[in-house]
Amino acid sequence: MRGPTLQKATIISFTLHLTVFAIALIIMKQSGNVHLPSPYTVNLVSPGVLKDISRETGADTGKVSTQLAAAPDVSKKAAKETPKDKPKDTAKEKEMVAKRISAIEAKKKVERRVRLRSVIALKAGPGKQGSKQQQSASHGKGALQDDYYTAITKEIWQQWVYPDVGKKDIEAVIAIRILRDGTAIIQRIEKSSGNALFDKSAMRALAKASPLTPPPDEMEIGVRFFP
């Protein structure tokens, strides 16, 4: 009735844990399709890298153009009026504009460099990738996968051309298999948007984006497109 019970229980618990973990590991290694446990779906509506890119390319120009669009005459008018009404302010404004432009340029440069670096790191050979895997081992395997999904999301997005027409509340889901060398093969349309041109534009983006960054292992994923 003394000490041994507690000790025994601890040992039993420990061995039980060990065996369960061992079994789990064996099952995972043997199953072909599932390589790494990913207990979450990755939702990359506005991932960090993508944000940077879109700030640089799409969203920024989009924003500027819509601003210009919304008030193209405002800017013209402002330009016209300022020299007449407030000659003092123009110098200040010009200086401010120049400052802002240079700041934006500097920011872009930095962002471009960061992007280049990340692309180089991703595209580099298996040796480098190995080192990266080791590096991010502390982050866990999920983080590495996250990085990969972010990278390919960006690669597909950059190839996507679709004019701003028609309904906005549609969605197309396409299953693709990504081979070891990055080749993306369209498996099937899991969900059609109901708009043939939209589906086609999505398929095209995938075709043009292939080959993608080589994945850690062959995988099948679903790609959801929203206008």
Partner 1 sequence: MKKKCKVKNAELKITLKVTVFFLLLTVCSLLSAFAEAKVYIDITSPAFTRLPIAIQDFTGPSGDEISGIIRADLDFTGLFSSVDKAAHLERPGQPFKPGNWTPLGVETVVKGSTTEGKELVVTVSLYDVLDGKEILRKEYRAGKALVRPLSHTIANDIYHALTGEMGVFRSRIAFVADDKGEKAIYLMDWDGNRAANTGMKGNVVLSPHWSKDGTKLLYSSERNRQWGIYLLDFTSMTEKRVFSSRGTNMAGDFLGDGQEFLISSSKGGTPDLFIVNPSNNSTVKLTSSYGIDVSPSVSPDTQHIAFVSDRGGSPQVYTMRKDGTDVRRITFEGSYNTSPAWSPKGDRIVFSGRRVGNQIFVVNPDGSGLVQLTSQGNNEDPSFSPDGRYIVFSSDREGIKAVYIMRANGEAQRRITPKSMKASGPRWSPN
| Residues of span 56-95 touching partner 1 by CB under 8 A | 57-58, 65-66, 68-74, 76-77
CB neighbour burial string for 84-114, b if at least 16 within 10 angstroms, e if fewer: eeeeeeeeeeeeeeeeeeeeeeeeeeeeeee
Give the chain's length.
227
151-156 contact pairs (CB < 8 A, 24+): 151/49, 151/118, 151/122, 151/213, 152/178, 152/209, 152/212, 152/213, 152/215, 153/44, 153/47, 153/50, 154/47, 154/49, 154/50, 154/53, 155/209, 155/212, 155/213, 156/205, 156/206, 156/209, 156/212, 156/223
What is the contact mask toward partner 1 in residues 144 to 183, using x (rule: CB under 8 A)? -x---x--xx--xxxxxxxxxxx------x----------
Nearest to 46 by CA among 32, 65, 59, 30: 59
Please report how close the Cβ of residue 87 comes to partner 1 at its closest, in angstroms.
20
Nearer to partner 1, 144 or 156 (CB): 156
**Separation of alpha carbons 65 and 51, rounded Å:** 18
Please report how close the Cβ of residue 70 comes to partner 1 at its closest, in angstroms.
5
Binds partner 1 by CB under 8 A, chosen from 208, 213, 216, 218: 208
What is the contact mask toward partner 1 in residues 94 to 133, using x (rule: CB under 8 A)? ----------------------------------------
Nearest to 186 by CA among 170, 159, 204, 198: 204
Please report how close the Cβ of residue 102 comes to partner 1 at its closest, in angstroms.
27
172's enclosing H/E stretch is strand 172-178
Nearer to partner 1, 66 or 135 (CB): 66
**Stretches 87-95, 111-119, 129-137, 192-200: which one binds partner 1 (CB under 8 A)?**
192-200
**Stretches 29-37, 84-92, 105-113, 123-131: which one binds partner 1 (CB under 8 A)?**
29-37
- 39: contact with partner 1 by CB under 8 A: yes
Nearer to partner 1, 71 or 97 (CB): 71
Binds partner 1 by CB under 8 A, chosen from 33, 84, 91, 127: 33
Q: How many residues bind partner 1 (CB under 8 A)?
A: 71
